[in-house]
């Protein structure tokens, strides 16, 4: 069971953060904050992300930083508390950490940004099995002074799944309409910092839906914010893209990346710059 309209007060009852990282946001406002959904036992995933795109990086002097979103689980709590003392990058509230509560988890992250890091330029929600090219994303986001930006892998005119055994099954009570609003895939979407407070405000009027990315799409629809493409060539991929140095220098996300793959991809990209990639391609062409 996940909670529905009648139980909307839950976010108030369980509204207190159990773990809040120190953000440094006032002194050193981040350009991008990554909100990463993980489960407790994904130690390897968190570790790989901390060593790669989740590092406190400064592409072109612009700070990017990742935070992990967790619900509560007694079994892991002492380990999670310890981990958070070490890395200071865990955001936690007291809700049961299940797939059905994913929307709560993401809203918790957005609330945290709103309260503790309102000076951020952009927020990206993504998952623990994602490759994120933080350098390329920073470059793309720097091309304009964005406001009211909502971007990612856009899904138009998707329909709710009415097949009971599906992970994404929705009853007509949960979602009566026959299509979803345009929304960006939950594998990785970005919105500008000016929208965080607005999402929270508008969410109070939209019954929770377990499909987190659709829910955010509903919030943006109500705010009259439509998703836009960030670049003419799609940089957000909701599937697994085959690794190559040139491919990965020119994309923002790829899906289903294991911690080991992530570490290897990152190292390979650090050792082979974009320029070298084009040079090698030229050599190959003339060989």
Applying CB under 6 A, among 5, 15, 79, 268 the residue interacting with ligand NAG is 79
Query: Is the CB of 11 or the CB of 254 nearer to ligand NAG?
Result: 11
Applying CB under 6 A, among 60, 145, 147, 224 the residue interacting with ligand NAG is 145
3-state DSSP of the chain: CCCCHHHCCHHHHCCCEEECCCCCCCCCCCCEEEEEECCCCCHHHHHHHHHCCCCCECHHHCCEEEEEEEEECHHHHHHHHHHHHHHCCEEEEEEECCHHHHHHHHHHHHHHHHHHCCCCCEEEEEECCCEECHHHHHHHHCCCCCCCCEEEEEECCCCCECCCCCCCECCCCCCCCCCCCCEEEEEEEEEEHHHHHHHHHHHCCCCCCCCHHHHHHHHHHHCCCCCECCCCCCCECCCCCCCCHHHHHCCCEECCCCHHHHHHHHHHHHHCCHHHHHHHHHHHHHC
To ligand NAG, the closest distance from the beta carbon of 257 in angstroms equals 22
Applying CB under 6 A, among 86, 163, 284, 286 the residue interacting with ligand NAG is 86
Note whether 1 binds ligand NAG by CB under 6 A.
Answer: yes
Interface with ligand NAG by CB under 6 A: which range of 97-105, 122-130, 219-227, 250-258?
97-105
Number of residues that bind ligand NAG (CB under 6 A): 20
Note whether 95 binds ligand NAG by CB under 6 A.
Answer: yes
To ligand NAG, the closest distance from the beta carbon of 219 in angstroms equals 19
Query: Is the CB of 7 or the CB of 172 nearer to ligand NAG?
Result: 7
Give the residues lining the site for ligand NAG (CB under 6 A). Answer: 1-3, 10, 14, 18, 79, 82-83, 86, 94-96, 98, 100-101, 104, 143-145
């Amino acid at each position: 069971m996940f909670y529905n309209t009648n139980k909307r007060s839950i976010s108030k009852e369980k509204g207190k953060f159990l773990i809040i990282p120190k953000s440094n946001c006032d002194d050193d406002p981040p350009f991008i904050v990554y909100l990463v959904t993980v489960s407790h036992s994904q130690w390897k995933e968190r570790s790989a992300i901390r060593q790669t795109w989740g590092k406190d990086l400064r592409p072109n002097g612009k700070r990017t930083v990742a935070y992990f979103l967790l619900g509560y689980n007694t079994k892991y709590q002492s380990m999670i508390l310890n981990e958070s003392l070490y890395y200071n990058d865990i955001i936690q509230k007291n809700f049961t950490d299940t797939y059905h509560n994913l929307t709560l988890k993401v809203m918790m992250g957005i609330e945290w940004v709103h309260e503790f890091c309102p000076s951020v330029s952009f927020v990206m929600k993504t998952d623990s099995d994602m490759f994120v090219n933080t350098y390329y994303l920073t470059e793309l986001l720097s091309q304009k002074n964005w406001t009211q930006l909502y971007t990612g892998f856009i899904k138009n005119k998707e329909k709710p799944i009415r097949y009971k055994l599906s992970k994404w099954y929705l009853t007509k009570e949960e979602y009566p309409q026959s299509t979803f609003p345009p929304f960006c895939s939950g594998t990785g979407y970005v919105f500008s910092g000016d929208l965080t407070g607005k999402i929270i405000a508008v969410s109070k009027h939209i019954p929770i839906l377990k499909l987190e990315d659709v829910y955010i799409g509903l919030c943006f629809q109500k705010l009259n914010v439509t998703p836009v493409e960030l670049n003419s060539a799609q940089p957000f991929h909701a599937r697994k893209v085959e690794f190559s140095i040139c491919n990965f220098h020119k994309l923002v996300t790829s899906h289903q990346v294991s911690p080991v793959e992530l570490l290897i991809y990152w190292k390979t990209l650090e050792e082979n710059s974009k320029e070298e990639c084009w040079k090698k391609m030229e050599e190959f062409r003339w060989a």
